Structure 1
Amino acid sequence: MPNAFEAGHRKVIPAVLVYLERAGDQAMLMLYRNAKPDDYHQGKYNGLGGKCEPDESPRAAARREIEEEAGLRLPPDVFKLCGILQFPNFKPQKSEDWVVWVYVAQLPPDQAVWSKGPEGDLVWVPKSKVLDLSLWQGDRHFLPLVLAKRPFAGTIWYSGQDVLRYELDELVTGPAR
């Protein structure tokens, strides 16, 4: 008998992932997920973010998530869309396909940020060290594009915490040819 995913009973979960940078230095704010023992992301570093509410655009969700997870109230124009990712069947027990808008936002150099949020510790990490952190395997494929500010779209297939395969396309900016 096919599982819910195979039978087509899937839920699409719109979500956002935001990587915050501080103007004037080469650091990125990373969330170390250690606040909730039953967290699916426990022990991993990630950008900030989460699910979009039914009445929210991705940019509005990014603003809300940054306020909830880091105590920052940022204007909409600081959020720059960097990529879009699809994670088919990311949580098989729930038959969820996640579609994630990836943003980069730059903070003023003197911007105060919480050191601990509801999801875990907030840590400024030198960009040159981000890929050395305990990350989801798939993040290692798209984070170099985020760090280089090269727009992308892609799909990452997981089995548990292992990447089965991935496809990433860099997006061409300017007129289509």
Structure 2
Amino acid sequence: MAKLATICYIDNGEELLMLHRNKKPNDVHEGKWISVGGKLEAGETPEECAVREIFEETGLHAHELRMRGMITFPEFTPDNDWYTYVFHVTKFSGELIDCPEGTLAWVPYQKVMDLPTWEGDLIFLEWILTDKPFFSAKFIYQDMELLDHSVVFY
């Protein structure tokens, strides 16, 4: 089954807002530092989903979204292929809230790559931080280990 989701990197010009997934039981992301984001709801555009998920998880209002790419994660969860829209957000307002999914923290660019996360996240996060062109990528995981990836830049 195909699942649609967003990955949203919020950037204050020096740091990225990262989410340490340490609150949800049975979380596939448990213990990892990831971006905020989540599943598209019926009738939502990817942009609408990103704005909603950013607000629900952080309390921040996203004012400008830049879609940076699309990522396919075949069978990332049992019987589910995930298709994700990757956003970079540099204009936002509001105050951070206590996220129900984990601990939010502003992390300096130079330290983000040292956080425990998915191996693939480190690859596409570098594309965002170095302002690579729009991308379409595929990351293949098995038993939570990255087996392979491919990318096309446009």
Question: What is the TM-score when the length of structure 1 is the normalising length?
Answer: 0.82
Q: Distance in 2 between matches of 1:68 and 1:160?
A: 30
Alignment partner for residue 160 of structure 1, among 140, 143, 154? Answer: 143
Q: Distance in 1 between matches of 2:42 and 2:129?
A: 30
Q: Which residue in the other structure is 1:113 paired with?
A: 96
CA deviation profile, 1:15-69 (whole Å, cap 9, x unmatched): 00000011xx410000110111311100001110010001100000000000110
CA deviation profile, 1:63-88 (whole Å, cap 9, x unmatched): 0000110012233xx01001100000
Q: Which residue in the other structure is 2:123 paired with?
A: 141
Alignment partner for residue 54 of structure 1, among 39, 42, 64? Answer: 42
Q: Which amino acid aligns with 1:122?
A: L
3-state SS of paired residue (2:128):
helix
Q: Distance in 2 between matches of 1:138 and 1:47?
A: 13
Alignment partner for residue 40 of structure 1, among 12, 28, 34? Answer: 28
Question: Any gaps of 5 or more consecutive residues in structure 2?
Answer: none
CA RMSD of aligned residues (A): 1.3
Q: Distance in 1 between matches of 2:81 and 2:90?
A: 29
Residue 67 (structure 2) pairs with residue 81 (structure 1): yes
Conserved? CA contact 2:61–2:94, under 8 Å: no
Percentage identity across paired residues of the two chains: 36
Q: State the structure with more CA Rg.
A: 1
Conserved? CA contact 1:137–1:161, under 8 Å: no
Q: Distance in 2 between matches of 1:135 and 1:13?
A: 21
Structure 1 residue 107: Cα displacement:
3.4
Residue 111 (structure 2) pairs with residue 125 (structure 1): no
Q: Distance in 2 between matches of 1:31 and 1:130?
A: 11
Question: Any gaps of 5 or more consecutive residues in structure 1?
Answer: 1-10, 172-177
CA deviation profile, 1:97-120 (whole Å, cap 9, x unmatched): 000000000135x75323x30111
Conserved? CA contact 1:20–1:29, under 8 Å: yes
Q: Distance in 2 between matches of 1:71 and 1:140?
A: 25
Q: Which residue in the other structure is 1:20 paired with?
A: 10
Residue 73 (structure 2) pairs with residue 90 (structure 1): no
Alignment partner for residue 55 of structure 2, among 43, 64, 67? Answer: 67
